[in-house]
Structure 1
Amino acid sequence: MTQKIIFFDIDNTLLDYEKKLPESTKKAVQQLQDDGHIVAIASGRAPFAFKNLLETLNISTYVSLNGQYVVYKNQAIYENQLDFAALNQLNEAAAESEHPIVYLDHEDWRSSVEYHPHVEEAVSSLKLNHPVTYDPNYYRNHAIYQSLLFCDGEAELQYKEKFPQFEFIRWHRYSVDVLPNGGSKANGIKNLIHHLGIDLNNTYAFGDGLNDIEMLKFIPNSVAMGNAELPVKEVAKHITKDVNQNGVFHGLKIVGLL
């Protein structure tokens, strides 16, 4: 059997709405690994935010921070940080508009403000045991791969126009991911499969969110979750069941991996 690599988004794909791992998904991942395939994470989260999941599923390969920090067998093989000068300008513009920013590297996340209800709501929705702490200068002395900018849709459009150095992708009603221009899960995956020498036709991907669109467009064997947003379903080759209806298991059946 030809070795395949299968990429899974985390939230509302591997994990259900309560951030729990369905038993059917856990068994499916184990079966893929037993069959000799590579199972990888492809997430907007930073590595510190899914450490327990890696351990639970025995996964050591991942595309994190929406493709900006890529790891194969626990070794980083690709890093793409935000341009410092542009990030500094974004920070100033956000401060003037009283829009909080959270800065992320692969080990931690820090906020430009001590407290804001929108930051609290968005971060708490991830249900992590890793609180965001206050450090407005964190981006000055760390490699920042992604930021979270807290603003409404109108302000988001203004930031997009003013800062072409970045990609802005909404992940929460109060927040957008800020990535390097051209940065995406797809770009991170390109670097990983090139590193491994795996043919694109032997890659598979599952996702549900707007930050999965580029990945699902790039990978020929793509699967949108039944709970995915409409633009995500429109670019995927296959659509499986809802995450709460054993969507990953059924999707793997659809593509013939189980």
Structure 2
Amino acid sequence: MSYKFVFFDIDGTLLNEEKEIPADTIKAVNELKEKGIEPVIATGRAPYFIKPLTDALGIDSYVCMNGAYVVYKGQTLYKREIEKPSLETLVALAAQHDHGLVFEGESRYCSDRDNHPFVTDSIQSLKIDMPSFEPEFWRENGIFQVFLHCESHDEHLYESLKSEFTLIRWHPQAMDVLPLGGSKAQGIAALLDELGYTAEHAVAFGDGLNDKEMLEYVGFGVAMGNSHPELLPFANFVTTHVDEKGIRNGLIKAGLLTA
């Protein structure tokens, strides 16, 4: 079966540690488009944080907030909000332990803590603007993803939430909180189904723990050479480092580009 789509994670996949797009990655993505194969972003980031990247690569389709918000060619195809009763439970539990929360809505994001050090450290690592301080933002807006700021030794405090949420660590001081069963794979499935394609028509690239389901779901999954070790068993192929033509080499292995 010929591949029609390639889904790309952002951090550690399209972007290197300096949050820059390697020149060869830009060239490889352009070559892909010239062959009539559609590149799509698949990220944990919200749509309002990816415009510089999508502009640089000429991509207008994306699976954001770990599959909860999907846009194809500028049109929203799929949205999955976290239910308010579940958010209320999360907010109450995090408050007991003074763990800051950041709520991601459709057009902006806000925190329930002002200058919380864990929030500051994790958000600064993404090189994006800090969230505004609006503790009640989650009550009045649709929320698609939450950042829960705690260290790994405190994760056990949130075991009771696993019947309502999917939690994935992405930073030493932060976890993504998604609707139960949420993943990039779920968003990709929604997009492919809407367009009349199946998982076998897709290739995906990733490097983090939130890429497991995506790489396992698609027809050909590629893990970056700089991937988290736990991601590797879910990939069909492990390519080179993001700064060592990792995207190009993965596309060559998938049969989409030539050397």
**Contact conserved, 2:3 with 2:202, CA < 8 A, in 1?**
no
Deviations 1:221-255 (A, max 9, x none): 00000010111111100000011211111111111
Cα distance in structure 1, aligned partners of 2:38 and 2:161? 40
Which secondary structure does the structure 2 equivalent of 1:243 belong to?
A: coil
Q: Percent identity?
A: 41
- Aligned positions of 1:70-149 closer than 5 A: 70-128=70-128, 130-149=129-148
Unaligned residue ranges in structure 1 (runs of 5+): none
The TM-score normalised by the length of structure 2 is 0.96
* Counterpart residue type for residue 151 of structure 1: C
Deviations 1:95-152 (A, max 9, x none): 1110000000131110001111111110000012x32110001101111000000012
Cα distance in structure 1, aligned partners of 2:198 and 2:98? 46
Question: Cα offset for 1:158?
Answer: 2.6
Match of 2:221?
222
**Contact conserved, 1:193 with 1:199, CA < 8 A, in 2?**
yes
**Contact conserved, 1:216 with 1:235, CA < 8 A, in 2?**
yes
Question: Cα offset for 1:155?
Answer: 2.6
Match of 2:170?
171
The change in CA–CA distance for 1:144 and 1:19 in structure 2 (over 3 A counts) is same
Match of 2:192?
193
**Contact conserved, 1:3 with 1:36, CA < 8 A, in 2?**
no
**Contact conserved, 2:3 with 2:203, CA < 8 A, in 1?**
no
Question: Cα offset for 1:163?
Answer: 4.5
* Counterpart residue type for residue 207 of structure 2: D
Match of 2:237?
238
Over the aligned positions, Cα root-mean-square deviation in angstroms equals: 1.3
Whether 1:34 aligns to 2:34 is: yes
Cα distance in structure 2, aligned partners of 1:100 and 1:125? 16
Cα distance in structure 1, aligned partners of 2:97 and 2:207? 31
Ranges of 4+ aligned residues in structure 1 off by more than 4 Å: none
Unaligned residue ranges in structure 2 (runs of 5+): none
Cα distance in structure 1, aligned partners of 2:234 and 2:254? 16
Whether 1:9 aligns to 2:25 is: no
Match of 2:251?
252
Cα distance in structure 2, aligned partners of 1:220 and 1:136? 42
Question: Cα offset for 1:156?
Answer: 1.8
Match of 1:60?
60
* Counterpart residue type for residue 157 of structure 1: H
Cα distance in structure 2, aligned partners of 1:123 and 1:91? 19
